Amino acid sequence: MAVTGTEVTGTPGPSLMRRAGGPAGATALALIGGVVSIGLWWLAIVVFKIESYTAPTPPDVVEAFKREPAYLFENAWISLTTTVEGFAITVVLGVAIGAVLGSSRTLERAFMPSLVALNAVPKMAFGPLLLVWLGVGRTSSVVMAVLLCFFPVVLSVATGLARTPSDLAELAQSLSAGRWQTFAKVRLPGALPQVFVGLKVGLPLAVIGALLGELFGAGAGLGYIITTAGSDTGLSFAAIALVAAMSIILYYLLVLVEMLLLPWVRETTA
């Protein structure tokens, strides 16, 4: 017995693509939006006569890509692996802790305030401390990525499990299902749409966390390029463009995973 439908909020990926005419239509709209945004950026620089050392034009950014392609993409790969590693750790820890909190009202009341307090602390405050504790390198960036995206994942898992319809839980009990069977067959499938909401919120935060870690002295990565570029704003904006592209690609890969694992979500969302 498995749940094949649940209330879903905050999961715009599949429904947006359907309203836009499928993946091709959604891609076309995204490209149009990107072109318009770049055009407005270029127009603002021309109209307000902004100097290139303050904000580069799109051609300046393209020139930076042509000038340092290997340097940019090597560091982009470092940032990508840092982000994926931090997000993977968060998924494992967040799902485990969220499942424990969602399965026990007592534990949720005991530990959720501490998680809220930890989430409220500005993560920038951890930057210098992580350098002291972990030293310069990728490890501090991975930990920063985990710190930023951990809370949304835990909260979504705990909330999804807590919203299991009581009639389904009672039905499982009437069929003599054990606690583990009820969890695996009823509660977890019903919680998955909510879990993916948290994952899609947390993934861009993991990118930000990895970048913050690199800004504080990782010695490599796109954040390191932004920090050390100095007056070469074209190079800084090229690194920022790669961060944006990486975030978009990772997000829609996650949306694709959601569509493959939860095909019923597309049928039950408008």
- Reported as a pLDDT band with limits 50, 70 and 90, residue 8 is very low
pLDDT at 226 over 90: yes
The pLDDT value given to residue 172: 62
Nearest residue to 170 via CA among 160, 180, 182, 184: 182
The pLDDT value given to residue 174: 62
Q: Rounded to an integer, what distance in angstroms lies between the CA atom of residue 92 and that of residue 199?
A: 11
**pLDDT tens digits along 32-47:** 998 999 999 999 998 9
The pLDDT value given to residue 182: 65
Average predicted confidence (pLDDT) for the chain: 84
Kindly report the pTM of this predicted structure: 0.84
What's the mean pLDDT in 106-131?
A: 90
The pLDDT value given to residue 21: 57
**pLDDT tens digits along 60-98:** 999 999 999 999 999 999 999 999 999 999 999 999 999
- Those residues whose C-beta lies under 8 Å from the C-beta of residue 258, and which sit 6 or more positions away, are 11, 13, 14, 196, 200, 265
Q: Rounded to an integer, what distance in angstroms lies between the CA atom of residue 153 and that of residue 141?
A: 19
Structural domains of the chain sorted by starting position, each given as residue range(s) with its CATH number in brackets: 56-262 (1.10.3720.10)
The pLDDT value given to residue 170: 59
- At residue 59, the 3 state secondary structure works out as helix
The CA R_g of the chain, rounded to the nearest whole Å, is 22
User: For the CA atoms of 58, 210, 96, 162, what is the dihedral angle to 10 degrees?
Assistant: -50
Q: Rounded to an integer, what distance in angstroms lies between the CA atom of residue 145 and that of residue 218?
A: 13
* Least confident residue range of 148-157, 201-210, 211-220: 211-220
What's the mean pLDDT in 110-128?
A: 90
pLDDT at 250 over 50: yes
pLDDT at 256 over 80: yes
The pLDDT value given to residue 224: 93
Cα–Cα distances in angstroms (integers) from residue 227 to residues 82, 158, 211, 214, in the given order: 17, 38, 10, 9
pLDDT at 25 over 80: no
- At residue 126, the 3 state secondary structure works out as helix
